[in-house]
Amino acid sequence: MERIVNVKNASGLHARPAGMFVKKAAEFKSTVEVSAKGKTVNAKSIMGIMSLGLAQGDELTIIANGEDQEAAINALAELIESGFGE
């Protein structure tokens, strides 16, 4: 299962929002990955997320597989679309 979202917050996925994203991804049992700019990384890895260098307006795909895949995708997409409260 996957869903495409765009980074909303002005500063992109820098350390604080990347940390929030990874922490949220870790709450789910499913395998969760993020694909952007031709690269796919583990959504539960802070280094992986930071390595994507996502800026405002960048498009990313959240991919989840497992028993709670729909909940994982919805929660992570909501976090990105909310702009991480920035």
User: Which residues are known to be catalytic?
Assistant: 14
Alpha-carbon distance of 57 to 52, in angstroms, equals: 13
**Listing from the earlier edge strand, what are the strands of the sheet with 39-42?**
2-6, 59-65, 31-36, 39-42
Length of the chain: 86
